[in-house]
């Protein structure tokens, strides 16, 4: 994932969460809004999920899933992906199918 594709500012996170639309599942909350450029992503893993090593591992997996499936995801959106605690029980493939179900808007 390139640096251009990452949402970094706290203001943008809160703006997307408060003004954007959302989809939720048992393992993810995905907030999104339309923008006029390429897709951008913000990934949040709460401290309840585990130690820093575990949280970073989950973030790396999510980034890898996004990179591998760029053609499936609609272009021109900002996404804030909030991970929930139960994700530790899933395999990589299960995480991938669950996340792609939520990110594929308009299907």
* Residue 9, domain extent: 3-102
Three-class secondary structure of residue 85 per DSSP: helix
Tell me if 42 is assigned to some domain. Answer: yes
Query: How many angstroms separate the CA atoms of 98 and 107, rounded?
Result: 14
pTM: 0.88
Grouping H, G, I as helix, E, B as strand and the rest as coil, residue 37 is coil
* Exposure string for 2-15, b = 16+ CB within 10 A, e = fewer: eeebebeeeeebeb
Q: Residue 86: inside a domain, yes or no?
A: yes
Query: Would the pLDDT of 94 be above 60?
Result: yes
Q: Within a domain: residue 107?
A: no
pLDDT 10s digits, 31-89: 999 988 788 999 999 999 999 999 999 999 999 999 998 888 888 899 999 999 889 88
Q: Please tell me the total count of domains within the chain.
A: 1
Q: What is the CATH number of the domain that holds 44?
A: 3.30.230.10
pLDDT for res 72: 83
56 occurs within a structural domain = yes
Query: Is residue 4's pLDDT more than 80?
Result: no
């Amino acid at each position: 994932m390139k640096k251009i594709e990452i949402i970094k500012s706290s203001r943008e996170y809160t703006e997307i969460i408060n003004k954007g639309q959302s989809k939720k599942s048992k393992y993810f909350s995905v907030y999104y809004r339309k923008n006029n450029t390429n897709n951008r992503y913000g990934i949040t893993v709460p401290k309840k999920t585990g130690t820093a090593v575990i949280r970073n591992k989950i973030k790396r997996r999510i980034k890898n899933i996004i990179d591998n499936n760029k053609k499936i995801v609609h272009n021109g959106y900002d996404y804030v992906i909030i991970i929930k605690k139960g994700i530790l029980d899933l395999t990589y493939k299960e995480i991938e199918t669950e996340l792609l179900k939520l990110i594929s808007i308009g299907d």
